[in-house]
Homo-oligomer: A and B are copies of this chain.
Amino acid sequence: MAVVEVSISPLGMPGTGVSEFVAESLKVIRSSGLKHQLTPMGTIIEGSLDDILPVIRKMHEAQFEAGAPRVSTLIKIDDRRDKPSSLEDKVRSVEEKIHGQIP
C-alpha cells in the first residue's frame, strides 16, 4: 500500500485562478473509488500503485481536455512494503509522538 500526493495545474491560461481545472482532475479521482483526501495543496490518495498511477494519469489528461495547453504535475509517492500504511495512520503516528504516547 502506498500513499501518494498529487498536485496538477495548468500553465498558459490567463487568470490566476486554477480551481476550475483542479476540479476536473478531482472529478476523476472522485469517480475512481480510491480513498483520497483533498487538501489546500493537492490530493492525497491511498491504495496500491497499480491502482493509483493510471488514475493520476487520467487526472493529468483531464486538464488538457478542459483546454489547458500545458500542464504541470507533481507526484510524491510514499511506498512502504514492510507494513500497512494509511492516511489516518500517518497522521496518527505523528500526533502520538507529539503527545508522548508509545505508538
Query: Which residues of A are at the interface with B, using a C-beta cutoff of 8 A?
Result: 3, 5, 7, 9, 11-20, 22-23, 26-27, 30, 37-42, 44, 46, 49, 53, 57, 60, 64, 69-83, 87-88, 90-91, 93-98, 103
Contacts and interface: CB of A to CB of B under 8 A. Distances in A.
Contact of A77 (B37, B73, B79): B73
Contacts of A83: 16
B38 A41 contact: no
Given A53-B53, A70-B16, A82-B70, A23 B90 contact: no
A18 B13 contact: no
A11 B14 contact: no
27 contacts: A3-B41, A7-B76, A12-B15, A12-B82, A13-B14, A16-B69, A16-B82, A16-B83, A19-B93, A19-B103, A23-B97, A30-B98, A38-B94, A39-B39, A40-B88, A40-B90, A41-B44, A49-B60, A53-B57, A64-B79, A64-B81, A70-B79, A70-B80, A70-B82, A72-B79, A73-B76, A74-B76
